Structure formats: C-alpha cells, structure tokens
Structure 1
C-alpha cells in the first residue's frame, strides 16, 4: 500500500494578484477550537464580523457578511439573487473579469447589453452613463479593479447616475477591498462583493458582500423559505407573485440574510475556521487603519515601479488608470515569459503571474497585496528578477532596480 509524506509545503514569496501570503495571525486563528454554529460564542463572532465588514466596506448597510465559497461565489450570489430572467443587465468590460460578469448574468437569463474597452484602459464614466441613459437597464454590473490588466475603474459618477435613474449597481471589488479605497456609501454602490485571498490576506474560501436596502427590496420580492424550515410563524414566502423566485438555493441572499440575522434561520453549516480567519484578517486591517494600509500599498507600488523602470523594463497599460496593487510588465521581445517565471519560482521561491486571453505571453503581473505587500518582498523580488533576466539574455543595469526602490523608501 502506498504511503504518503507528511504535509510540508515549501515556503514561498507570493507576488501574484491572488492568492497572496496569509498573515501568521490568520493561520493561528484557523487552528482555534471549533464551535457549533448556533453556540452563542460563535454567533457573537458572526456579529463581530458583520460590524467589521461594515467598516471595511465603508458603509452603514445592515447587510455585510461573507458568502461561503471563493470570490466567484459572492459574484454569483449577488447576480443570481438580483437578476430575474428577462432583466436587462449592462456590463462594461475592460478585462477578463468583466466577461465573467457577463457570463454569470447570461446564465441567470438576463438580456445582456455590453460595452467593451481595449484591455489596458478603463471607461470614461460618461461613456458608461450615456449607455445607462440609453439602455435603461435594471442592473449594471462592473469590475472595480481588473487584475487581468492591472487597471481600476472610477465608480463615483457611475454610482450617482445609477441612483438617479433607479438602476441597481453591482460592483466586483474582489481585488480592491482592503488595498485601495472602496467607498460603498459615498459612491452610492448598491451591492459590493469582495475577496478574501487578495488584499485581505485570508485563504480563499469566503467572499465578503454588502448590499443596501434598495437591493434588499428586490431580494424580498423574490424570497422563498425552504420547505423543511417552514413553521406556522415562518411564512413560505414574502415574495411578490410577479417576481420569479431566486433560482439558486445555496446562493440565495434572501435566505442567507435570515441566517445572519437575529432569526438565525438555518441555511447551511457555517465554515467555522474560515470565519475565524476572516474575522482575524479584517481585525488586522482595521487595527492598521484603512488610510495607513492604503498608503502602504501605494508606497510599495511606487518602489516596485521605480525598480522595474530603472532596470529598463516597460510597464503595460494606461498609467492614469493603474491599479495600485497589480503592476503589469511587458515581456521583452524574444524572452520566454514562462521560463522566467519558472526560474523565479524554482531558484528564488518567488511566484509572479502571467495573464489571460489576448495578454497571454505578453505581460507579467506582479501583485503587492495585503501581507505580501512589504519592503522585504519588493526588494527580494527586484534582486531576483534582475538575476533571472540576465540569465535570459535581457540587458539590465546591474543593481539599478534595487537602488531605485531604496531611493523611494
């Protein structure tokens, strides 16, 4: 019979756009004893987490809680719960994850209207607003930080227009929450979905979400309660018969909010250790302070960019719309980008990312997110990257990258 070695993952410096390195305090939290999901100690932790998430999302929304699943589960929960078959949904696309929103909306039976921007740029908000005024969609779904291209889309004007025209705005903030400002209330965002494994530095497996009363109003019109949970005091439905029921059970926000409310109406068994991890990860962020955290991410971005440019490399995309936490580098002509990544990982234990679709083989993507976003990691990477590029025949000025980063620090 085959025997298996003890689990011993190699130490890595992870500088991808997610997942990133996890704060040791989060890993320690995950080792804490399991509590039952209705134990008062555990429900108190659930309430703590909701309060912390409101601060993280910068919102006064009643509803701020995690969906159990990867970041995509949060996006799917938001869209499947809000989109009725036949609803018109506008999706502005400027990278891979805009296409993901389009695909999920299609599967929900939406009538799709899309706008497309060349990868490496973002939309002028007025272009999106003009499309909203012309199409009058029920929902706009848009990515805030597009990790496939390293760009960030301004949202404040779009949020204001959606509110004026009574359109629900759903935002993918998976890559931005905890690393750059996400102003849910100030920008008038109706639904915001975050990710655990990026700037929050928590293992993948939970998707924090928040939504306001405008979104909740539609959820309640579609609400159904599971047959096995119905009692004489729990009606089977609060829905409007003109509204189609939510087609997913697991991703039904109307039922999930009952679970996270004082009702504690059972929906599923909560992921105990992951909730510990999320609570600790967000606690660490709030202890650091959001503004201080944003400043740290900007500093490491500036040092990284200075080092790369001093080495003679060029950055990809429109600099006016660069996403702070992802830096995209053009692969020099004639260089095998995957060979460079393999050598970085194999010899230096550093992981960076390639890209997708039309950018596959054209750029490297370097993430500086959360716990991975540190001076040690940036300097380690620049020194190792220089050595690997020299081995691949790229003419770089020896030592220039690290010195340029040190000048920033």
Structure 2
C-alpha cells in the first residue's frame, strides 16, 4: 500500500483578523507529554490557567475557564446556558458578528430585539441605553470589536446602565482581549467570551470565558430543574432546561471545580498552549502589550495612508487590532490577495456581506503584531498593487512606518 506524502505546511506571514501566528513558545509547550485529565499535575495546571485568565480578563470572578471549541462554542455555551424560551434579548449589531449573536439567541427560543447601525460605525451608548429602557430585556448581547468592519464599541456606559436596570450584559470580546483594554469588572460585564486564535496567539480550539455570580445564579437554578429538585410545574417546564449537554456551563463549571465532574476529556495539549499563551501575556504585561498593538497599528495606518490608499470606517472607533483598507476602484481585491499569498507568503483578509470586494482587512494581533510583519506587508502590498497598475506614492509607505518606529513618538505617545 502506498503511503500518502508527509505533511508539508508552507511558511506564511499571517496578517488576517484571525487566526494569527502562534508564538513558538506556545507550540513548544503544546509538544509536551500527555497527562491524564485527573492527574494532580494536570488539575494543578487547570487551576493555574484559571488564575491567569482572571488576570488577563481583568476580573475577580470565580469562574474563568476555557470551553473546548472555537470562539463560537464559547458564545453558544454562554447564551444557551443563560437564555430560556421567551426571554427578551437586545442585540445592538454593527457588523457580521452581531448577526451571529442573533442566530444563536434565536435557536435558544429567545425573543430578539435588534438595532442596527451602518457598517463602519458604532452606536452612541445613549442610543443603546434608551433601547434597553424601552425593551427591558433579560440580556443585552454585544460585540466589543467586530472584525468584519474593524470597529470597536464603547461598553462602559452600557455596562453601568445594564447593572442599574438589572439587565445582564454578555460580550463577545473575541477580537479584543489581550490586544486592547477589556475591563470585565470595571465595565460591569456579566459574561464575557474570547478566543485563543486572535490576540492570545494560541491555535484555534478553545474559547476562554468568564461570568459572575449573577449568571451563576441562573445556571444553578436551571441545574436544579434538570435534576428535578424544583417541583413547581411552571419551573419544571422543558423550556427552562439547558438545551445542550456539552456546552452546559453548569456542568462545565463542575468539571473545572474541585469536584472534577467527569464531563468530557479535556483537550490536553490545547490547555498547555493556553497556559503558556496566558503566561507570555502576563510576562509582557497588559499595558506593554496594549502599547505594542497600538504602535504597530499606528505604523501600519501611517504606511497605508502614505502609500496613497484610504481607510474604511469611523476613525474615532477603529478597532486597534484590525485595519480596514478601501480597495482602489477598478482593482480586483481577490487577485491582490492571491498574489500576496503566492508570491510573498503573506495572507490578508477580504470581508463579508455588503463590504465583500470593497475592503481588505489587515490584522495586527498577538504574535503577528510585530514590526517585521508590518514592514514586510507594506512593502509587499506596494509591489503587488504596482503590478495591478495602481498609482501609488512609491516608497512612501514603508518610510512612513519607519518614521513611526524610529521617532520619539514611539516612546512618548504609545
């Protein structure tokens, strides 16, 4: 029998909004020996991962752990565990991923109330707060940074209003955690979900999340219904039961507690990677990490503009980890992306829905967010655009980025 060829993976510079390049030290950690999931060395690692997550997510919540699966698994675990049939949910949507929150909440049987703003902008918090007072939902579900539009929604005012009005705030912070400020407790966020494949610089496959005692109270009540401990006819209605077994947060928290409920077999090597990724973030320091992301974003933006290209969206609410570039008129955006990949080994992203074919999205996230990558991307993009007969300010892009890196601005303003 002829064996298939050995796996050969081409070298790439990944400058997309996710996945991003993985820190080599994370890959090294993931090659460590397998431990049993109840081995004391492994359960100790679980506990330390929770401690590190609390620090990265800036929370004192007791529960902070990863769900096995991509970011969407974490979002689904949170919403399906909290929402019951008929619950009102307000979803202010400013991009593609507000639509994802809507789809998942609909599958839970929730009553959806959506508001929308033009892609490329975000909501005035006062508009969202007014809608909360009008709808009186059980949950407000929002995206913090939407990679489809490259915008970031201010959350602090909304979080405080939700707490005052006794409404739960659940936030998709997949594109922002470890790349820019996300203050779970200070912003009064009740439930927050992120993902390993973006600014954490760990392979896709885990969705770290955290939630407070307000959400835990809901989980414990629904768990009592599951076990038949609540006899009230209305309370024991099937509509009150958590729909999923695998994504049931009440069971997952028992797995991550000292009880060690045998719920599933943990993704051992993924946890090694998450542990090391979190350790590296804390070693760098959150403030320094955020400065690094802003520095490289600034250099990329200055280079793009100096080249003669324009940026998409409201500049005042730009997502620091994603830069959206308007595709010049008459240029085949996919052809440019293909040439970048084939000739230079660099991957950037297109976009979705109404923006497909209109913008490129360039990510500066985690380990991919470094000077070498920014300069290489600018130089390669210029070369490819020249091949596509685009009129540019030749040589200006890389020089403008170098000005950022070499000036006092790097020290004083970041």
Q: Report the TM-score, using the length of structure 1 for normalisation.
A: 0.96
Matched, 1:195 2:195: yes
Could you tell me which residue of structure 1 aligns to residue 332 of structure 2? 336
Q: Which residue does the alignment assign to 1:262?
A: 258
**Equivalenced residues, count:** 400
| 8 Å CA contact 2:225, 2:241 repeated in 1 | no
Query: CA separation in 2, counterparts of 1:237 and 1:215?
Result: 20
Q: Could you list the per-position Cα deviations for residues 78-113 of structure 1 after superposition, in whole angstroms to 9, with x for gaps in the alignment?
A: 000000000000000000000000000000000000
Matched-pair contact (CA < 8 Å) for 1:221–1:240:
no
Secondary structure in 1 aligned to 2:391?
coil
In the TM superposition, what are the counterparts of 1:278-297 in structure 2 within 5 Å? 278-297=274-293
Partner SS state of residue 273, structure 2 = helix
Counterpart of 2:22 in structure 1 is: 22
Native 8 Å contact 2:68 2:206 kept in 1: yes
Structure 1 unmatched ranges of 5 or more: 227-235
Report the secondary structure of 2:97's partner residue.
helix
Q: Conserved in 2, the CA contact under 8 Å of 1:122 and 1:153?
A: yes
Equivalent residues in 2 for 1:316-331 (5 A)? 316-331=312-327
Partners of 1:323 and 1:222 in 2: how far apart? 37
Q: Closer, same or farther in 2 for the Cα pair 1:183/1:390, shift >3 Å?
A: same
Judging changes above 3 Å, is the alpha-carbon distance between structure 1 residues 238 and 26 closer, same or farther for their aligned structure 2 residues? Answer: farther
Pairing 1:233-272 to 2, within 5 Å after superposition: 236=227, 241=232, 242=235, 244-272=240-268
Report the more deviating stretch, 236-245 or 23-32: 236-245
* 2:397 match: 401
- Residues 132-175 of structure 1: CA deviation (Å, up to 9, x unaligned): 00100000100000000000000000000100011011000000
Tell me the equivalent position of 2:346: 350
Q: Is the 8 A contact 1:202 1:277 kept in 2?
A: yes
Task: Quote the RMSD (CA, aligned, Å).
Answer: 1.2
1:106-255 correspondence runs (5 A): 106-223=106-223, 236=227, 241=232, 242=235, 244-255=240-251
What residue is the counterpart of 2:408 in the other structure? none
For structure 2, the 5+ residue unaligned runs are 406-414
Deviations along 1:215-257, whole A, 9 cap, x unmatched?
A: 101111101699xxxxxxxxx3566852611110011001100
Q: TM-score normalized by structure 2?
A: 0.95
Measured against aligned partners, the alpha-carbon deviations of 1:364-408 in whole angstroms (never above 9, x if no partner) come to: 000000000000000000000000000001011221000000000
Q: Which residue of 2 aligns with 1:32?
A: 32
Point out 4+ residue stretches in structure 1 off by more than 4 angstroms: 237-241
Report matched runs for 1:47-66 at 5 Å.
47-66=47-66
Distance in 2 (CA, whole Å) between partners of 1:317 and 1:363 is: 10
- Is contact 2:82-2:215 (8 Å) kept? yes
